[in-house]
Amino acid sequence: MPQQEEPADIWAGVLFFVGRISLLSSLADIEEVLDLPQGITRVPATTHWVHGIANNRGTLLPIFDLRSFLFGVPTSHSSKNRVMVVRQTGFSLGLLVNDVVGIRRLEASTRLPEAPKLGEGIDGLLVGSFRLGIERKAVLDLQKLALDGRFNQAVA
């Protein structure tokens, strides 16, 4: 009988851009990816990174500008902008990003424990990295992000 190899432990993630920085996040943390909704309602007296609220199939979805939240620079609007919907217990939130490249399936054993230093606002939310080609891509933990205390300070 031919010997069967054990399948490798695969980590599935989504590759996306925040400004010019490409990041990975676990596919398990992303409920869906949306085009930027047209009917976003601005919320007065909130911080600069609160993009607004949109109706997503009958549910109100708060949308946060991830680049503005992490780096203080608003996301430039283009046709490539996407909203990644992250589900937390009891609520969902939308993260506006510059572009979503797609799903990447990587051998979990190739994950590096350290992440590149990207900035004070993001470094505490990074949980390792993977090599994609010649580049190392940091992994952004969206569950850590959703639980970040800064979201409680969205009111200006």
Q: Residue 136 has what pLDDT?
A: 94
What percentage of the chain reaches a pLDDT higher than 90?
A: 78
> How many domains does the structure of the chain reveal?
1
Residue 2 lies in a domain: no
Query: Using CB atoms within 10 A of its CB, is residue 79 exposed (0-12), middle (13-18) or buried (19+)?
Result: exposed
User: Which range of residues forms the domain containing residue 104?
Assistant: 10-150
d(C-alpha 84, C-alpha 79), whole Å: 15
Characterize the bridge pairing of strands 50-56 and 30-35.
unpaired
Hey, which bits of the chain come out as E strands? 10-18, 21-26, 30-35, 50-56, 59-65, 82-88, 91-97, 99-107, 126-132, 135-140
Domain containing residue 93: CATH number:
2.40.50.180
For 77-97, write each residue's pLDDT tens digit: 999 999 999 988 778 899 999
For 14-67, write each residue's pLDDT tens digit: 999 999 999 999 999 999 999 999 889 999 999 999 999 999 988 899 999 999
How many Cβ atoms sit within 10 Å of the Cβ of residue 108? 11
**Mean pLDDT value across residues 123-133:** 94
Residue 3 lies in a domain: no
Residue 155 lies in a domain: no
Residue 53 lies in a domain: yes
Residue 1 lies in a domain: no
